[in-house]
Amino acid sequence: MKYSRFVGIVLLASALFIGLGAAEDLTPDAIMLETETNMTITGLSYADDDEWVEVVNPGMASQDFTFWTLEDENNNTYSFPEGFVLLPGAAVKVHTGQGNATETDLYWGRDDLVWDEEEVATLKNAAGEIVAGYPESA
């Protein structure tokens, strides 16, 4: 009787261990679906009447930009609207000035200019990690 109970416990423990291992194996796949490392800044317009930064999602999955930011070197920070999602292959321009937000154009709502030609525009994810910069060589 003790032997069969021992075998039962070993089998149960093995099943739990295998189940946990399978769950752990799924985690890297879930992480690989993250597309934030693919986000790029493809342009920055310094025009007085329409200053903007363009962010592109060249990946194969949508990216939620909740809690993401665009920053300049003077700590001027734009926070993306909660729930804003950039679809695969899509681009969005973040305009410094005012306007009505769409899927392709967001507005910071500032009256003054932000970007200087020597500055780097930095895109940060929700964890505050740098995802992209423009220009890249700066």
Residue 88, pLDDT score = 95
Residue 19, pLDDT score = 46
Which position has the higher pLDDT, 32 or 58? Answer: 58
SS3 50: coil
Quick one: average pLDDT of 8-12? 45
Distances 1 to 8, 9, 11, 14, 79 between C-alpha atoms, Å: 11, 12, 15, 20, 65
At residue 123 the predicted structure's pLDDT band, cuts being 50, 70 and 90, is very high
Which residue shows structure tokens 């410094």? 96
Please report, rounded to a whole number, the percentage of residues in the chain having pLDDT higher than 90. 64
Cβ atoms of residues 74 and 48 within 8 Å: no
Q: Is the pTM of this model over 0.75?
A: no
Residue type, 28: P
Residue 47, pLDDT score = 87
Distances 74 to 118, 120, 128 between C-alpha atoms, Å: 12, 10, 16
Residue 118, pLDDT score = 85
Residue 67, pLDDT score = 97
| 56-111 pLDDT tens trace | 999 999 999 999 999 999 999 999 999 999 999 999 999 999 999 999 999 999 99
**Among candidate residues 113, 93, 112, the one with its CA nearest the CA of residue 104:** 93
Residue 48, pLDDT score = 85
At residue 2 the predicted structure's pLDDT band, cuts being 50, 70 and 90, is low
Which position has the higher pLDDT, 17 or 105? Answer: 105
